[in-house]
Each structure stands twice: as structure tokens, then as C-alpha cells.
Amino acid sequence: MPVLIAGLGNPGKRYAHTRHNVGWMLVERLATRMGFAFAESPWKGLVARGVYRGMETVLLKPATYMNLSGDSVAACALANGIGIRDVLAVSDEVQFPLGRIKLSTGGSDGGHNGLASLIERLGDGGFRRLRIGVNMAGKGQLKDYVLSEFGPDESALLDETLAFAGDAVLDWAGQGATDQAFTAVMGRYNDKSRQPCAKLEQPAPAQDTEATNNEEPFQE
């Protein structure tokens, strides 16, 4: 049975580099790493598919806009005989800093309209998720923030985060995309000490208060 990796986002150049589109960004990079190419599909989205390390894999970019993502994902899953636990949805997460990711299975939509649409259309919230932090931290209105673009000062960390998240997905698919493989990948990649955000959370080194440059300490 194939696996479906759906990157949630909005279609069009206007949204291509926005925070809400990190799901699209990731599946585009996965397609490059897997050697797949995107094409139009009957399922309201762009699809890239092929065999990666013996695992039949379908990459999907829903073109329905975020709030109707479930229409595309459900149609693609049904047409390809893909079960609920063989669906991995990739989405943005405003509660995480950029550089943090989290893999999980099941749960609520967490206030994310794309995930809410998937739960409604799939009829079950038991699909797998990969959430990628976009670093809101109370910055303005939610809608305006997620539709804003990443800043130039974030580009290096964004690239590192997408590479790390891509490693996690390829690791899972490369192990046969089984339940056991997903559990192992969660344990490995959910470890915050290994994630790109870890370097940002390290305390600054203590400053040396002793005299330097061979200068004598000040004395009265």
C-alpha cells in the first residue's frame, strides 16, 4: 500500500513563501530529494509519485486553499487505496519556534483549519502529522501572521528546518512507513536537543570577568 504525504498550504505565487505554506515547501523539497516531479491530478491538487527505497510514495500539494485541504487529501487517499494511518499531513505550527518540528499520530486539529478539514473529510483524526514551527510568539493577528513571508534573517534556519524535517520523512518512508518505523522516527526527530532550534535555546556562555590582554586589575 502506498503512503500519502500531503503538504498543506495555499496555491499561487502570492502565498508561495508564506509561513502557512511550509507544508508545500517541504513536499516540494521531498520531491527533489526523491527524484519525483509534480503534475496535475484529478484530486484537486498537484501530485508527485514514485518508488522511494521500495516504498510507493505519493506527494500531494492540495490546490483547494488551506480551509478545504481535506477535499483533495481525501479524494487522493480514496482513489489510491491509502489508509488513514498511511497519510502524513505536513502543516505549520504557530505555537512552535522556527527550527522546531514535531511528529505525532492522531489528535485534534489544534485550531489549524487545514487539519480540521482533513479530520472532517477523512472522517477520522488518526492520520499522522508533521508540524513545523513558524515562530508566532504573540506577533499580531494570527491570519495576518501566517500569511506573512519569512524574513531574510530567517532563511538559513528555515532551510535547515526543512532539511531536518525532510530527513525525518525519508527515514520513515525508507523503513517501510510502518507503525514501528514511525515510532522510531518520532523518538529520534522529536528530540529537541537534536533539532535546529536547539542552538537558539542554548544559554549564552558566561563572560570572563578576569582581566584580559595582560592588563592589571584596577586597584584603588
pLDDT of 200: 73
pLDDT of 6: 98
pLDDT in tens, 59-89: 999 999 999 999 999 999 999 999 999 999 9
Q: By three-state DSSP, how is residue 1 classified?
A: coil
17 catalytic residue (yes or no): no
Residue ranges of the chain with pLDDT lower than 50? 204-206, 208-220
* Topology of the domain comprising 3-201: Rossmann fold (3.40.50)
Give the end-to-end CA distance of the chain in Å, rounded to a whole number: 80
pLDDT of 135: 83
The C-alpha cell that represents 196 in the structure block: 535546529
Catalytically annotated residue among 19, 20, 102, 112: 20
Of residues 99, 120, 134, 124, the one with CA closest to residue 23: 134
